[in-house]
Amino acid sequence: MNIQDYEKFDRENAYFGSDLGALIIDDKTQFKVWAPESAVVFLNLYNEGEGDNLIESIPMQKSEKGIWSVTVPKNLDGVFYTYTFEYHGQRQETIDIYAKACGINGDRGAVVDFKTTNPEDWDKVKNPDCISPCDAVIYETNVRDFSIDTTSGVSENKRGRFLAFTESGTSYNGTETCLDHLKSLGITHVHLLPVFDFATIDEKIPITENENYNWGYDPKNYNCLEGSYSTNPHDPKVRIREFKEMVKSLHENNIGVIIDVVYNHTYESEKSSFHKTFPFYYHRTANNWFSNGSGCGNELATERAMVRKYILDSVEFWAREYKIDGFRFDLMGLIDIETVNLIRDKLNEVNPQILMYGEGWTGGESPLSSAKLAYKWNSYQFARVGLFNDNLRDAVKGAVFNIFDKGYVSGNLHTYNVVKRGLAGSVPHSQINGSDEACFAYNPTQTINYCEAHDNHTLWDKLAISAEQFTADERIKMDKLSAAIILLSQGIPFLELGQDFLRSKPKITNGRETLENKYAPFNGNSYNAPDETNSIKWNQKTENISVFKYYKALIALRKKYPQLRLCKREQVESQMRFFETGDNNIIGYTLKSSSKNKSVIAVLLNPYTNVRTAALPEGEYAVILNSDGGDESKSSRTISGQAQLDAISALVLLKK
């Protein structure tokens, strides 16, 4: 299409009705699609999600604003469908971009009466409360990784699937796994890597037999669920019902569900359903071809009216139909700021407690001005949305793009000030000078604090590479100190499943990958690596149970004391004060409560490999978290004047 002025085109052609897609209305089924430049559009009805079983092709009628529609005088629940569009004399068949259900491998949409997909008592399922985003403790996992390994203890027909999250009582050698593990650890939200229908996994092969693997950042159908995570991907209703069963199970255990969404690019460019529906409208272009700000071959033109509408409609659908508790936006830096704010407004209409956060960067250069994009440095223009704190991540463990780089916990004390800034929620604070690039948050609710995610090496592998000269025991202490920094910082803590028991991702030399050198036996980009690399090995929890217990103690401490979860920058300034410890590299700060009990917590962080002594503010203190995660506050022993700090450790005290 040769559209020179998209703003003018949108003013004349954009459609804002809420009825795009396939809708069952009484005993009729209505189909509507926006394709203002198509010469003709046909609706194709099929009996199955694949194969030669066409029922009929029906010409659609064009009306104002480029809408093509047809109403079939029967309830087509369970029937599959596609559209055929004609441009420049060429006809192409494709799935409806508004399809909310699909057949095997996502090539045909499915008409579904969603009321028939609800599990028992679905209408009674409530979203868990999350009054402030800073009350959340987010735990990231991939559906397949969670249970695919036999050590998960999950029933074979549920392993690697949505239903694994519904099975309780699983264990490995007496150690809780999967759902019981989530409950025991105390996290508030599970963040799921993409669960929408993605392109690179053949759903015909059962997931327990499927050697292909992908995280799912290869979007095919944004509003349909991935079939490989269901027990029967041929039946659209099965994947929907089983996903709802998972949400129900987690909600009944007071755990919210966050989904990872990828509204920044499509897996295919010319062959994508968006391009076939309306060539070049849905994607940004440069030099008359797809621009590549995602690094994946294209990028969505979110600033255009009907792309923006599509994203808003999609997010609202997930939030309402599946009772989703949060959205994580992949490469959010590619989404324009106006759209980001409108998404937040839309989610507030559904449920103001829904979390929204994303990556404040892109995967390449976009033709849209950086001043209009949701980059981290533009954060004050979308202050209600969280951003991943890569500054704190790199300061804690070392830069992720330099595998040998060290961080605060592994001996690079030059990152001291950035760690301090992260502890204060990355908001302005009168006691912190410098590290201005790390001061990006308007309020602590805007910073997602983390040191491990699916991207890059796990924390344990990063330490194994960059801190190779240290003993394993010292690296375990580094891991625990990293966790303490993340969970004792203002903002929203984010962990990856398995981080709490030293998860490792070994490289597998099976022809698909080769070891680069002796210093890199670990996989730092495992998006398509086999289960041997990506799956959670639950025996590692048994082997590292003391680390798990430490993380659990940190989470419990964070939940207990509200001053660890301040949500306003003014609160951080007035209630969080740094104090002199006698050593500039040992960080010390106090947090006072605004509640009636006026409790005061003191936190000390020792990055040194030996025992150190640090000065304390005036008063008597009891230990509420030692280097083993223990609470000594019930004993009669108190500390005043100074405290002895174990090597590479955090100490948390309560003023008596």
Active centre residues (catalytic): 330, 359
Cβ atoms within 10 Å, residue 271: 12
Burial pattern 616-644, b for ≥16 Cβ within 10 A else e, equals bbeeebbbbbbbebebebeeeebbeeebe
Whether the CB-CB separation of 240 and 154 falls below 8 Å is answered with no
The rounded distance, in Å, linking the Cα atoms of 648 and 598 is 30
The rounded distance, in Å, linking the Cα atoms of 381 and 383 is 6
User: If we measure between CA atoms, which residue out of 278, 277, 268, 282 comes closest to residue 84?
Assistant: 277
> What type of residue is 473?
D
Within 13 Å, how many C-alpha atoms sit on residue 496's CB side? 25
| Residues paired with residue 138 on neighbouring β-strands, in sequence order | 189, 494
Whether the CB-CB separation of 519 and 503 falls below 8 Å is answered with no
Q: Who contacts 388 (Cβ-Cβ below 8 Å, separation ≥6)?
A: 357, 358, 359, 360, 448, 450, 453, 494
> What type of residue is 305?
A
The rounded distance, in Å, linking the Cα atoms of 82 and 94 is 6
Q: At what angle do helices 472-487 and 390-397 cross, to 10 degrees?
A: 150
Instruction: Report DSSP letters for 585-636, one per residue.
Output: TSEEEEEE--STT--EEEEEEE-SSS-EEEE--SS-EEEEE-TTS---TTSS
Q: At what angle do helices 545-560 and 178-185 cross, to 10 degrees?
A: 50
Whether the CB-CB separation of 629 and 552 falls below 8 Å is answered with yes
Within 13 Å, how many C-alpha atoms sit on residue 86's CB side? 9
In three-state secondary structure terms, 346 is: helix
The rounded distance, in Å, linking the Cα atoms of 86 and 93 is 9
The rounded distance, in Å, linking the Cα atoms of 272 and 282 is 10
Q: Who contacts 349 (Cβ-Cβ below 8 Å, separation ≥6)?
A: 316
Whether the CB-CB separation of 567 and 134 falls below 8 Å is answered with yes
User: If we measure between CA atoms, which residue out of 563, 567, 543 comes closest to residue 624?
Assistant: 563
User: If we measure between CA atoms, which residue out of 163, 181, 170 comes closest to residue 232?
Assistant: 163
